[in-house]
Structure 1
Amino acid sequence: MNLCGGRCGAVFAPLSPWFLPVDLTHTMLENIIEYTFKNKELLNQAITHSSCFNEKKDVRQSENEKLEYLGDAILNSVITILLYKKFKDKDEGFLSNARSCLVKRETLTEVAKAIDLPRHMFYGNGDQNVPEDSKVLSNMVEALIGAIYLDGGLRKATKVIKNLFAPYFSLERLTEKNPKNLLQEYSQKRWSILPKYKFTRKTKGGFTVIVYIGKDLKAKGMGKSKKEAEQHAARLLLQGLTETDGA
């Protein structure tokens, strides 16, 4: 079965030296996520990368993007409810931070790899790095959730989300603070001001961001996304400040 309708040399990542039939790929992924699609086309749309379509925007690419949009909304809503029920003694600030931790790209990428999504996705012949792209993987998890919602409804989608994200609901993980939060707390406590982030440029390798505290303290960070670059910059500045304090 050619998901690209003959308009591109589509491949799916091999589980072994040979390629598996599409229906077997579907079955293996369905077994992992413990959900069987009634409408296999929804699953196709969710796990097919845009590189599988021609350069001109394809209607199927649009459907995939809409699944991402829907899946993002469903995921945020379900995670919000699950957190509210699990941590009834926590305040709104904790719940908001916990939700951000669970739906961020890094967590979604971990989920994608946990269900072996890189080996079950479809992509174009010229894009062999696609299965390792964190943005692609996180978007595909959202699209998969959107597809499950359309195929089986909210109850089924909630069950799948609960199972997939269960390993990430530990209090220890959810209270782990990222460099931006730590730098903000440090800056407020010491100088009563907030760090400011300035995007400088985007290159082929990613983004560059500079973080400032006042006029004199700054650090430059780089990353594949603005968020990653901000985290990198915050980590470097925080490291410099704490080393100075300890000197």
Structure 2
Amino acid sequence: MSEFDFSKIIGYTFKDLNILKNALTHSSYINESKQAYNANNERLEFLGDAILDAVISDYLYHRLSDVEEGQLTKLRSLVVCERSLMECATRLEIGTHLYLGKGEENSGGRNRTSILADAMEAVIGAVYLDGGWDVSVDFILRVLKDTIEDALAGKLYSDYKTELQERLQINGEVAIHYEVEKEEGPDHDKTFYVRLTANKKIIGNGQGRSKKEAEQHAAKAAIEKMGW
């Protein structure tokens, strides 16, 4: 399927399909085809992450006029977390349209949470570059509509990092720190190992294909270890 087909799926027609192709190109594909580094989607992911945060923050601020900052932050984290973005990417069939290297393809990259979530952010960045602010706002609120409503209705899970922080800090401030102990593998196929400490005491360890994923696994391990 082509970028044009994908445009129809997401309900936005790109003026410049090269921007969309850029958003769908994983670094593993660039490494194997020996193209320029900036042809992958990492810069668009960076941009899309910022646009997404701003749009969701603005929406929640205006819709929930009586809600305090802490709750707004929690709601936003539910909407923009890696799992929510992965689920949105799955609905939009992003995995089917990704340009992946053979190694990443063979290891299940089209269904990997971190890759799909990052690509979702890159697509948001691409929509912003191609269509501007108003178009990107409409796009984000449309494709994440159900996620936003579920968050407001209390139907969404808390991610493990947020849940752990809330439990640890229920009786006061606790210094929580995630540290990458080591990285293994080439740039397009890395595994990250994270150590989690609370008040300088190790409470969990995790690994994943991205730092975010490894941190989530470390937080989950800590929750399970404490019997919560």
TM normalised by structure 2 equals 0.78
Question: Does 2:163 match 1:182?
Answer: yes
Which of these residues, 61, 67, 78, is aligned with residue 39 of structure 2?
61
Residue aligning to 2:181: 200
Point out where structure 1 has 5 or more consecutive residues left out of the alignment.
Answer: 1-19
* CA deviation string 1:97-143 (max 9, x = no partner): 22222222222211111101111222334431331233322222222
Which of these residues, 153, 157, 160, is aligned with residue 136 of structure 2?
157
* CA deviation string 1:126-162 (max 9, x = no partner): 4313312333222222221222122222111111111
Point out where structure 2 has 5 or more consecutive residues left out of the alignment.
Answer: none
> What is the rounded CA distance, in whole Å, between the counterparts of 1:241 and 1:133 in structure 2?
28
Are the structure 2 counterparts of residues 50 and 225 from structure 1 closer, same or farther at C-alpha, using a change threshold of 3 Å?
A: closer
Residue aligning to 2:124: 145
Are the structure 2 counterparts of residues 60 and 237 from structure 1 closer, same or farther at C-alpha, using a change threshold of 3 Å?
A: closer
Are the structure 2 counterparts of residues 39 and 201 from structure 1 closer, same or farther at C-alpha, using a change threshold of 3 Å?
A: closer
Residue type of the alignment partner of 1:200? E
> What is the rounded CA distance, in whole Å, between the counterparts of 1:119 and 1:156 in structure 2?
24
> What is the rounded CA distance, in whole Å, between the counterparts of 2:31 and 2:143 in structure 1?
32
> What is the rounded CA distance, in whole Å, between the counterparts of 1:60 and 1:220 in structure 2?
33
| Pairwise CA distance, 1:77 | 1.3
Correspondence 1:79-98 to 2 at 5 A: 79-98=56-75
Are the structure 2 counterparts of residues 179 and 147 from structure 1 closer, same or farther at C-alpha, using a change threshold of 3 Å?
A: closer
**Percent of residue pairs identical:** 35
Residue type of the alignment partner of 2:109? V
Residue aligning to 1:117: 94
Conservation of the 8 A alpha-carbon contact between 1:101 and 1:174: no
* CA deviation string 1:52-95 (max 9, x = no partner): 33554516516x43322322222121111111122222111111
Residue aligning to 2:48: 71
Residue type of the alignment partner of 2:15? K
Compute the RMSD of aligned alpha carbons.
Answer: 3.0
Residue aligning to 1:168: 147
Conservation of the 8 A alpha-carbon contact between 1:75 and 1:103: yes
Residue aligning to 1:5: none
* CA deviation string 1:191-224 (max 9, x = no partner): 8644554543334583333444568773433333
> What is the rounded CA distance, in whole Å, between the counterparts of 1:142 and 1:187 in structure 2?
30
> Who wins on radius of gyration, i.e. which is larger?
1
Are the structure 2 counterparts of residues 32 and 237 from structure 1 closer, same or farther at C-alpha, using a change threshold of 3 Å?
A: same
> What is the rounded CA distance, in whole Å, between the counterparts of 2:131 and 2:198 in structure 1?
49
> What is the rounded CA distance, in whole Å, between the counterparts of 1:29 and 1:180 in structure 2?
33
> What is the rounded CA distance, in whole Å, between the counterparts of 1:146 and 1:229 in structure 2?
24
Residue aligning to 1:221: 206
> What is the rounded CA distance, in whole Å, between the counterparts of 2:24 and 2:48 in structure 1?
13
TM normalised by structure 1 equals 0.73
Question: Does 2:219 match 1:209?
Answer: no
* CA deviation string 1:17-71 (max 9, x = no partner): xxx4xxxx23332222111112222222222223333554516516x43322322
